[in-house]
Structure 1
């Protein structure tokens, strides 16, 4: 998560005591694992929201996200989820089913950590009144430095449409963005922008596609 992950300050008082948290989790360095973060980036680039809405690049922060979940009255999550379905398929899970579902078939360590966040929020009785998880079935994960596969990238549009619809019903007041984002406002670093990330990827001869060979050897030599 970047130092500038919070789009807006939390608005707790006044006529609207709610806090809506929109959270993208995952790791952009491992292809389709970055689905959730890419959704939150794109959402912020296209829309502006009411002051009580917070957009967060949760990355792989795990338990460090607990305060955001506990403060939220409504929580929307974007993530790559292994549903065992056709790559690019979207599935929506809501409310109490979300923590149970995320623990059923963990795809990566960040999901283990985030399930613990949700369970802890329940135990402390600071769980959002509404929770929605918009998950996408990934196609490829073992591509270090890779980007979203075409079917998963295409699914982002439907995922964002579902998310904006839910946010509008929750009173987030999404409006088409009329001014450019500043570096301070952006949920992630400019270097991790999807187009920049894809355009600047080194050739395969220069960049290992399966992770760092020092830590992830692909063969054992005698």
Structure 2
């Protein structure tokens, strides 16, 4: 059985819904780890994540949590706590994660699963990038993730300080309307052809 895996889940197309994926990439680009750990972007893999629940000893999921609290609040939810939280199931992948936990909890052998979640402000608007509240709380979310990783006897060392807008631009080319390279809009094209 493999040891430890961090899985960032979410959907980058819906504002704060991408925070888990951004966090996993942020860890990859800004930290080095000494010990047996993998960090992956789980996206919206849904039930395909179950393989990880069976192949690893410890699974840490970075995600949003639909808990009635103010945006930016951070929660550490071991799987047994999560199974008792009916209100958590709001987005499609949240429903799938809880359903997978219910299935694997009936098996003899499965990972210790912990959700490290942050309450989002906006997961309805289509847009790539975090809201201001989530940006302000992002470093603390990462600090909690690092603490969780270190609790597995893994040494974490910060090796870079790439900011979240640059991380997301490196992944998808855009962040809150800023692009890696400017794409001309319709007016620019009209103006250029009228010269």
Q: 2:132 aligns with which of 150, 153, 157?
A: 150
More helix as a share of residues: 2
User: Cα gap change, 1:40/1:85 in structure 2, threshold over 3 Å: closer, same or farther?
Assistant: same
Contact 1:26 1:80 in 2 (8 A): yes
More strand as a share of residues: 2
Cα root mean square deviation, aligned: 2.8
Matches within 5 A, 1:72-221: 72-101=56-85, 103-128=86-111, 130-177=112-159, 190-192=170-172, 196-198=174-176, 199-200=178-179
TM-score under structure 2 length normalisation? 0.79
Q: Which 10-residue stretch deviates more, 60-69 or 166-175?
A: 166-175
CA distance in 2 between partners of 1:154 and 1:126 (Å): 39
Contact 1:23 1:57 in 2 (8 A): yes
In structure 1, runs of 5+ residues without a counterpart are: 1-11, 13-17, 181-187, 207-222
User: Cα gap change, 1:175/1:35 in structure 2, threshold over 3 Å: closer, same or farther?
Assistant: same
CA distance in 2 between partners of 1:121 and 1:177 (Å): 36
Secondary structure, counterpart of 2:155 in structure 1: coil
Aligned residues: 177
Secondary structure, counterpart of 2:123 in structure 1: coil
Q: 2:39 aligns with which of 55, 72, 75?
A: 55
TM-score under structure 1 length normalisation? 0.70
In structure 2, runs of 5+ residues without a counterpart are: 163-167, 187-195
CA distance in 1 between partners of 2:175 and 2:114 (Å): 28
Q: Does residue 24 of the first structure (1) align with residue 8 of the second (2)? A: yes
